Structure 1
Amino acid sequence: MTPLNKKIIEDFNYALIKSFGEEFNNVDPQVSIAKDTRHADYQVNIAFSLAKKLKKKPQEISQIIIGNLPVSPVYETPSIGGPGFINLRIKKGYLEDQIKLLCEDERLGILKTHNSQKIIVDFSSPNIAKEMHVGHLRSTIIGDSLSRILEFIGHDILRLNHVGDWGTQFGMLISYLKEVFPNALYEANVLQIEDLVSFYRKAKKRFDEDIQFQEISREAVVKLQLGNEEYRKAWKLLCEQSRREFQVIYDILQIELTERGESFYNPFLEEIVNDLDKQKILEISDGAKCVFLEGFINKSGNPLPLIVQKSDGGYNYATTDLAALKYRINIDKAKHIIYVTDAGQSNHFAQVFQIAQRAGFLREETSVSHIPFGLVKGEDGKKLKTRSGETIRLKDLLDKSIYQARKNLENRLKTENREESQEFINNVANVVGIGSVKYADLSQNRNSDYIFSYDKMLSLQGNTAPYMLYAYARIKSILREEKINYAALENTQVILQDEAEIDLAKYLLQLNEVIEIIENTLLPNRLCEYLYELSKRFNRFYENCPVLKSVDSTKFSRLVLCDLTARTLELGLSLLGIDVLERM
């Protein structure tokens, strides 16, 4: 089925050419969903951007366009609002037909892209020998949701986990463990992740204070880089220990990732330096090989150098990222690469992308996007930390959310005098607890910081996962009570009478437009906004339009709306990585 906005755009493209000539072919008519539905369902704003060029008032331009529109089965005769908006109302008969078609569509009106691309989404990226903490929450959840959405519309997605598994920290950690706990370097599973983190902190403190230990650690790094068998084995054991712990988190969050850490690109780093040298963009500064960046200056106002090889021969993050970018373009054949990292890395990626373009790695046929996000803050408005000031472990945050969800459910069961099995309670607590963490994050504009609150995110009221899950469970309860024959629904004639059911039907047809917006903006909060508004519209419909107490054709028509709403909520939540519940 063709989305509503596409039909409107086609008509207005035709009218623009007929009104003002062929030069207006493919001019965007600026069709959007009306913000104030009291006056229109859709609004067309093209007249304002044409006023200067045509030397006419927007109202006059709108009148000419309306006069050249074809007669439409989709909308009523357009009207002009305010200084020149073109307002459109969707015809009720057309709406009824479209809902019927939507009922038969497994994809609920979401079109597959005609321009399928190989897209790499780089997200999560924890560091080996460290625990995943709340700082990894946003990258992991946002990256997963974007991957799900882009994959659903037909792109070929490679989810990459660029873990920090290389560098000085390993020389430091291996050297320290050789002294205090050598078994950890030769035997698997002798350390818990908490022990490994503790040893890492002690090694770092020793490294910062002890010049001799610094030298020992650097020598260990060289041995590791040269492939020393003993050091390589120790490194692999440490990496495996961390990977197991990461996987516990990914299993809880239902995240699928392909790990390709920094070490993967180590063999290509020298080649990167040689490539930059051949392109004559490499310069020596204080013994280090650098690229001086355009548009970036240091505190003295001079061009800022980005080091790609240090004076001691070592490489840094920029070199690895350039190697990764080149590999992803040449070997993975990616056409779009998306990096989901915090806003603090915006300059770093802008610099890497600039060098890649100047070196010829990054060409016009490939696009790159840094998807920044803000901080997770506590209710005191400061960066979310434990009472002792330490960063919160991600596992602890998720466990507490599940615990709080279970506590809320058990209190509700007592109030309602309900008895449920332990299996039911555990499942609901897990789905609500994890879903609430994800939704609380994804419902925020990723560019902003947000306040983390268990009470708010677990509330059954407001823009929360429990509110959405409860709306879904309520609908499934209605359908169970009616013992609905889903095959029969497909043959039901849809009849829209009450304003609340007409409003719900219109909104059900807008999902494809929302997904299109997310594809272009990479802002998953737009899907959360849609699902929240859909749930509110369903609740108004449910309050104003009796379903089970209606008769015959009206009842079945309203059951169609119930079923479509449930299917839309289920699909939308799945694209956010959130499961649904038949009962709560």
Structure 2
Amino acid sequence: MSSLPSQLTERVMSVTGIDPEMRPATKPQFGHFQSNVAMRLAKTEGKPPREVAAGIVEKLELDDLCEPLEIAGPGFINFRIKSEVLASTASELMADPNVGIVQADQPQTVVIDYSAPNAAKQMHVGHLRSTIIGDCFNRVLTAQGHTVIPQNHIGDWGRQFGMLVEQTLDEGLDPAELDLAGAEELYKRANAHLKADEAFADRARERVVKLQAGDEQTLKIWQTLVDISKRGFDATYRRMNVLLQPKDYAGESMYNAMLPKVCDDLEARGIAKVDAGALAVFVDGYEAPAIIRNSQGGYGYDVTDVAALRYRVGELHANRLIYVVGSEQTHHFKLIFGVCRKAGYLPEEVRAEHVGYGMVLGTDGKKFSTREGTAVHLDDLLDEAEAQAAPNIALAAIKYADLSSGLQKDYTFDAERMTATTGDTGPYLQYAHARICQIMRRAEAEQIVVPEAISVLDEPAEQQLALLLSRFGEVVAEVGESLQPHKLCTYLYELAGAYSSFYEQCPVLKSEGEVRASRLALCQATRTVLDKGLGLLGIDAPERM
């Protein structure tokens, strides 16, 4: 279903040849949309803007969509959508199983890399944003008909496991008896031991070699610690109501066997060269190269990410790659994409995007951390929000606060403010949905039948609400393209506000006949869009609050 602004834009462009840049009218007396296209064309045509506007209006055929067009001020063209068109468009949302979300003409396979905690450590505030943002992209792109493959690139390989396994053996521990919190305490003890005892540090390094060589005892302890970690992560994901599943784990260990092959391939084709003993790939525009293998023969993040990208394109057949990782990694991913383009692992037709995000701040404006300066555990953060509200409302507060500001910006974690049911918050949107549900329950109790279509939209508040409803599909499409979820948040907040104005100015159950029936249908359409929109943000739409 093409949105009304899109239909208007197409018609005007067919006459003017340029984008009319439709904008919502600033005041009701100016209609629903305005365009300054005549003022822009006047400069090139050498005519007064109002004369150009008159010429455009004369050629436009919009009788099926709009009331007679008006020219205002220095040359603005005002468009007022016919009420029956608004009613029909809003009614379509009620019957459409996709609620106006435009399905992709050419569905893609989209791989999203997000969350990515480290094994043997509890998830902390640093994983909050990646998990919530990636989950939103998963929901939006799936709703558009794309095949989404989440990849949870957990840190489950590398030097830290040398000290973890060695500490386990030193203590005579049975790692299977640990939970994730216990594994994290083991990590802390091992790290302290490593710093204090050079002999232990040597044994830990030797243990890494044994791990990489496939030593049976070492691998068994390693696997146990990874399994414990995954169980802990999965419990938090369920609590957060995100879509990540056990099948989505694709940790660093998964690519371990691929690394030598990647190095051999890049070196054989002359893409990687030995520089100061290390195997490196130089990319135009970057002063420092990507280190594919270090001078000691070890592998790091650069080559692991190259191997992961190669796998995702070659084996998962991704058309689009999205990496939801903190903004501090922007340079790293640009370099990795450059290496992969140069190597042919990332063909030009495959889109690769790094979506960075800012930090979570405390109410003091500083990085959110414990008194000791360490990162706050994610479950403790959820506990803090739940101290202010029920779990589903607390979760709505956290997710909306995260997604409603531009992703690049830092945002303040203020549980009391975020859980308020007034203002620009997740609970406010939940309350708007619950309020509509209450009206529908009262209508059912009074045995009032809700029609399948909206028929009467005489009041400006009714028209404004219907107009906003018609934009839902367009907004979702923009989020899927630009990966800016705050635009969906803004839209839903505006929709809730428009519904509140409608409710105050247009009595629903106290009206009569066709007007009452139409207003109930408008309530139902609003409820449907709010429910769907909140779902795309990963937020519950409760029927009661």
Deviation, structure 1 residue 116: 0.8
Q: Aligned partners of 1:485 and 1:100: how far apart in 2?
A: 23
Runs of 5+ consecutive residues of structure 2 not aligned to the other structure:
none
Q: How does 1:472-511 map to 2 (within 5 A)?
A: 472-483=433-444, 488-492=449-453, 494-511=455-472
2:153 aligns with one of 150, 162, 179: 162
The alpha-carbon distance between structure 1 residues 275 and 545, as it changes in their structure 2 partners (threshold 3 A), is same
What is the one-letter code of the residue matched to 2:8? Answer: I
What is the one-letter code of the residue matched to 2:144? Answer: I
The alpha-carbon distance between structure 1 residues 156 and 484, as it changes in their structure 2 partners (threshold 3 A), is farther
Q: How does 1:82-97 map to 2 (within 5 A)?
A: 85-97=76-88
Q: Which moves more between the two structures, 92-101 or 327-336?
A: 92-101
1:380 aligns with one of 358, 364, 367: 364
What is the one-letter code of the residue matched to 2:428? Answer: Y
Find out whether 1:268 has 2:258 as its counterpart.
yes
Task: Name the structure, 1 or 2, with higher relative contact order (CA <8 Å, separation 6+).
Answer: 2
Find out whether 1:249 has 2:236 as its counterpart.
yes
Q: Aligned partners of 2:344 and 2:47: how far apart in 1?
A: 47
Q: Aligned partners of 2:231 and 2:454: how far apart in 1?
A: 54
Checking the alignment, whether the CA contact within 8 Å between 2:452 and 2:521 is kept in structure 1 is: no
What is the one-letter code of the residue matched to 2:57? Answer: I
Q: Aligned partners of 1:550 and 1:156: how far apart in 2?
A: 46
Q: How does 1:439-450 map to 2 (within 5 A)?
A: 439-450=400-411
Q: Which moves more between the two structures, 386-395 or 310-319?
A: 386-395
- State the match for 1:417 in structure 2: none
Q: How does 1:237-316 map to 2 (within 5 A)?
A: 237-257=224-244, 258-296=248-286, 303-316=287-300
Find out whether 1:236 has 2:206 as its counterpart.
no
Report Cα offsets for 1:395-423 as digits up to 9, x if no partner.
Answer: 11112222321xxxxxxxxxxxxxxxxxx
Q: Which moves more between the two structures, 121-130 or 96-105?
A: 96-105
Q: Aligned partners of 1:492 and 1:510: how far apart in 2?
A: 18
Find out whether 1:571 has 2:532 as its counterpart.
yes
- State the match for 2:541 in structure 1: 580
Find out whether 1:463 has 2:447 as its counterpart.
no
Q: Aligned partners of 1:153 and 1:5: how far apart in 2?
A: 20
What is the one-letter code of the residue matched to 2:360? Answer: V
Q: What TM-score do the two structures reach when normalised by structure 2?
A: 0.94
Find out whether 1:149 has 2:165 as its counterpart.
no
Find out whether 1:78 has 2:69 as its counterpart.
yes
The alpha-carbon distance between structure 1 residues 308 and 493, as it changes in their structure 2 partners (threshold 3 A), is closer
Deviation, structure 1 residue 92: 1.7
Report Cα offsets for 1:313-370 as digits up to 9, x if no partner.
Answer: 1101110100000011011000000000110110110010011111111111211000
Checking the alignment, whether the CA contact within 8 Å between 1:165 and 1:239 is kept in structure 2 is: yes
Aligned residue for 2:290, secondary structure, equals strand
Find out whether 1:342 has 2:303 as its counterpart.
no
The alpha-carbon distance between structure 1 residues 198 and 106, as it changes in their structure 2 partners (threshold 3 A), is same
Aligned residue for 1:483, secondary structure, equals helix
Q: Aligned partners of 1:155 and 1:325: how far apart in 2?
A: 19
The alpha-carbon distance between structure 1 residues 316 and 85, as it changes in their structure 2 partners (threshold 3 A), is farther
Report Cα offsets for 1:137-196 as digits up to 9, x if no partner.
Answer: 000001001110110011111111010101111112111222124422xxx2x1132222
Checking the alignment, whether the CA contact within 8 Å between 2:161 and 2:222 is kept in structure 1 is: yes
The alpha-carbon distance between structure 1 residues 82 and 210, as it changes in their structure 2 partners (threshold 3 A), is farther
What is the one-letter code of the residue matched to 1:576? Answer: L
Find out whether 1:390 has 2:377 as its counterpart.
no
The alpha-carbon distance between structure 1 residues 158 and 4, as it changes in their structure 2 partners (threshold 3 A), is same
Aligned residue for 1:404, secondary structure, equals coil
Checking the alignment, whether the CA contact within 8 Å between 1:100 and 1:490 is kept in structure 2 is: no
Checking the alignment, whether the CA contact within 8 Å between 1:119 and 1:157 is kept in structure 2 is: yes
Q: Aligned partners of 1:553 and 1:394: how far apart in 2?
A: 51
- State the match for 2:203 in structure 1: 216
Deviation, structure 1 residue 34: 4.5
Deviation, structure 1 residue 76: 2.7
Q: Aligned partners of 1:61 and 1:53: how far apart in 2?
A: 11
The alpha-carbon distance between structure 1 residues 59 and 218, as it changes in their structure 2 partners (threshold 3 A), is farther
1:453 aligns with one of 414, 421, 427: 414
Report Cα offsets for 1:452-471 as digits up to 9, x if no partner.
Answer: 10111110110112111111
Aligned residue for 2:539, secondary structure, equals coil
Report Cα offsets for 1:291-318 as digits up to 9, x if no partner.
Answer: 223223xxxxxx2122110111110111
The alpha-carbon distance between structure 1 residues 490 and 553, as it changes in their structure 2 partners (threshold 3 A), is closer
What is the one-letter code of the residue matched to 1:319? Answer: V
Deviation, structure 1 residue 59: 5.6
Q: Aligned partners of 2:386 and 2:406: how far apart in 1?
A: 24
Checking the alignment, whether the CA contact within 8 Å between 1:51 and 1:57 is kept in structure 2 is: yes
Q: Aligned partners of 1:279 and 1:476: how far apart in 2?
A: 64
2:307 aligns with one of 323, 338, 344: 323
Deviation, structure 1 residue 52: 6.8
CA RMSD of aligned residues (A): 2.2
Q: Aligned partners of 1:481 and 1:150: how far apart in 2?
A: 36
Deviation, structure 1 residue 499: 1.7
The alpha-carbon distance between structure 1 residues 97 and 215, as it changes in their structure 2 partners (threshold 3 A), is same
Deviation, structure 1 residue 108: 2.2
Identity of aligned residues (%): 40
What is the one-letter code of the residue matched to 1:575? Answer: L
Find out whether 1:198 has 2:185 as its counterpart.
yes
Find out whether 1:534 has 2:495 as its counterpart.
yes
Q: Aligned partners of 2:21 and 2:163: how far apart in 1?
A: 58
